[in-house]
Structure 1
Amino acid sequence: MSEATSLPVYIQISEMLMREIIAGRLSDGERLLPERDLAKSLNISVGTLRKSLKELEQKGALFRRHGSGNYVKFNTKFNSIYSFFRVELIDGGGLPSAKNLDINLVKKPKSSPFFGESDKCLRIRRLRFLDNRPCVLEEIHLDSIKTDGLKFDNISQSIYLFYKNTLNLRITAAKDSATLLRVPVWSPKEFKVMNNQETVCIERLAYDQVGAPVEFSRSWIDTNIARYTTRIS
């Protein structure tokens, strides 16, 4: 098992704040804490915070009033790294991170829908965290044609960002279905839902930039900690 490659701290902070905005924990027009106070509360330097705020401003999630401060600007089309990660803490938001459990080239599951011509796939098993709390168990299958000749010793916290930067593969749409499934036997002890116990599971078929299905995944959620959320605008 290995920690997924971390994103830069300023990106982590900007994504965390964006998820707080999307979840409604930071309201449209709300003034953020003064920069020194906010940096102290996040245990980061003022310089790092300012890079995070600049990211948010560039993505249309923040506006600045000279001499007054930084204000939340909500819109429905945020360009977030985690825009497809639709699990939040029960109270909303939460900064995602991940631990890779197993990465292997395997035959595609017989029970999976069509997601590419190859009979093999890259299978990625991960434990996902929100604010360092283990809450989602993931099993991701990516059509192996997309991974030919590449090695995957480590994968970043945001797997779709990894696809984009390493494979030139952009996930542009996804179809999610909620069901109840038993937690698989390979689940680590950190995931508090016991093996073979039923819990909410999200099955996803994801599509690339030309509209072709390329990935099938299952995500088991610890509903004592987190929930699946989708917002319609």
Structure 2
Amino acid sequence: MNSVNHAQPLPVYQQIAELLVRQIKAGYWHAGERLPTEAALAQTLSVAVGTLRKSLALLEKQGVLERIQGSGTYVKSVQGTQQIYELFRLELTNGPGLPTAQILDVAQARPEPGMPNWDGAVCWRVRRLRFLSQVPVALEEIWFPGTRIANLSAPELGDSMYLFYQQRLNVWISRVEDQISAATAPDWAPATSPLQTGDWAGYIERQSWTANNELAEFSKTWFDPKVCRYSSRLSQ
């Protein structure tokens, strides 16, 4: 009997590191700017100072921050860094927020009309409710080829599908293409969703490719524009 490989949530210090990078990229702090004191930042983020220090040490190691003895912690650079949620484009209207997910359904299905069909292969379809800093913001439906893994269940999936692809399928997403419009929420929206069936929502269709130009995933996202927004930033 095969044991299920339960996905483990990111350690709290790594979650905080991800959130800090999202805030830096959103313009909360700029290169050369000093972050609030550790005590103030830990209080704002509702974590212990020791946990925050692990987050700051991780970002210092990645070259994002610079810690100067007796002076404080400064933003160094986020150029060239690749965070777990680097390609997650939704943000709360009052700040980036930390992405998490609740799995609603995992099933095998044939691709729907208008979707990539991966030569007619049966696909895995994952439906999720997405959160930003514990606020429900979106519904998400993810499709990927069933040939990549024979058996799959909800406990095996964590908050980041891209991390699951890396760790379990040895698939690395290198680029994505998003098409944004408006659509009505699907008929599988749970009662806990901010969107109910038929509600108008922001709508994203995404195709995700590997470095070998292989289409690895197709997804649909319905998001509530009252609580979140789609953000994409370019820099030179």
Q: Would you call these one fold, judging by a TM-score over 0.5?
A: yes
Q: Which residue does the alignment assign to 1:195?
A: 197
Q: Which residue among 182, 185, 188 is the counterpart of 1:183? A: 185
8 A Cα contact 1:15 1:95, kept in partner: yes
Q: Which residue does the alignment assign to 1:82?
A: 85
More relative contact order, 1 or 2 (CA 8 Å, 6+ apart): 1
8 A Cα contact 1:140 1:215, kept in partner: yes
Q: Which residue does the alignment assign to 1:100?
A: 103
Deviation at 1:118, TM superposition (A): 4.9
Structure 1 87/153 Cα, relative in aligned 2: closer, same or farther at 3 Å? same
SS at match of 2:201: strand
C-alpha deviations, 1:182-229, integer Å up to 9, x for none? 100101122222311221110001112321012110010100000111
Q: Which residue among 218, 231, 234 is the counterpart of 1:232? A: 234
Q: Give the counterpart letter for 1:18 in structure 2.
A: V
8 A Cα contact 2:182 2:203, kept in partner: yes
C-alpha deviations, 1:114-170, integer Å up to 9, x for none? 4x3352111010011111110011000011111235555331111101110111111
Deviation at 1:70, TM superposition (A): 0.6
Q: Which residue does the alignment assign to 1:207?
A: 209
Q: Which residue does the alignment assign to 1:23?
A: 26
Q: Which residue does the alignment assign to 1:128?
A: 130
Q: Which residue among 26, 43, 48 is the counterpart of 1:45? A: 48
Query: Aligned pair 1:110/2:93, yes or no?
Result: no
Stretch of structure 1 that moved more, 151-160 or 120-129:
151-160
Q: Give the counterpart letter for 1:77 in structure 2.
A: G
Structure 1 38/92 Cα, relative in aligned 2: closer, same or farther at 3 Å? closer
Distance 2:20 2:179 in 1: 27
Structure 1: 5+ residue stretches without partners: none
Structure 1 62/103 Cα, relative in aligned 2: closer, same or farther at 3 Å? same
Stretch of structure 1 that moved more, 29-38 or 146-155:
146-155
C-alpha deviations, 1:27-66, integer Å up to 9, x for none? 2222122223322332322221111112211222211112
Percent of aligned pairs sharing the same letter: 40
Distance 2:95 2:41 in 1: 19
Structure 2: 5+ residue stretches without partners: 1-6
Q: Which residue does the alignment assign to 1:55?
A: 58
Distance 1:146 1:95 in 2: 28
Aligned residue pairs, count? 230
The CA RMSD over aligned residues, in Å, is: 1.9
Query: Aligned pair 1:160/2:191, yes or no?
Result: no
